Copies of this chain bind each other. A is one copy, B any other.
């Protein structure tokens, strides 16, 4: 199944730069939320602050797996420079997925996620050194069918 693809019309993505590190001796996994670029692809309302939500999943109810950066006004690039750590064995880490979302808070105080990246930690070899990469952020408007579980009304 080979289909033609229209390059010219392809939209560009907002991107996030993350550093990931696993310290074996301390069993400590750290996510460093560094920078956001091309935020205009997020279709953000004017003068709306944004922040990044970091979740390491699955996690048990007794454990914190959810972190949020401070709020930042959108500018190019958005510097965040905030790190979050949790203790986890390397075996458990390989079962986990890191979910990174750029969010805003609506006037009613509700969290509203604009776009996100999802990083499987199954097959990665993180060393004591930072592994730094840019990740494309998938706009939530592209995920209309993702929420089948909640829309299912049978």
Contacts and interface: CB of A to CB of B under 8 A. Distances in A.
A141 B147 contact: no
- Chain A interface size band reads 35 or more
A65 B110 CA distance: 32
A148 B139 CA distance: 12
A84 B5 CA distance: 13
A3 to B, nearest CB: 5
Contacts of A116: 118, 146
Contacts of A97: 13, 117, 136-138
A136 B120 contact: yes
A136 B122 contact: yes
A112 interface: yes
Contacts of A63: 3-6, 9
B106 A152 contact: yes
A141 B149 contact: yes
Given A7-B88, A9-B60, 14 more contacts: A1-B84, A2-B28, A2-B86, A5-B65, A5-B87, A7-B92, A9-B62, A11-B58, A11-B95, A112-B149, A113-B149, A116-B146, A140-B148, A141-B149
25 contacts: A1-B84, A2-B86, A3-B64, A4-B63, A5-B86, A5-B88, A7-B89, A7-B92, A9-B60, A10-B59, A12-B95, A13-B58, A15-B122, A58-B139, A97-B137, A97-B138, A99-B138, A110-B154, A116-B118, A116-B146, A118-B138, A120-B136, A123-B135, A143-B146, A143-B147
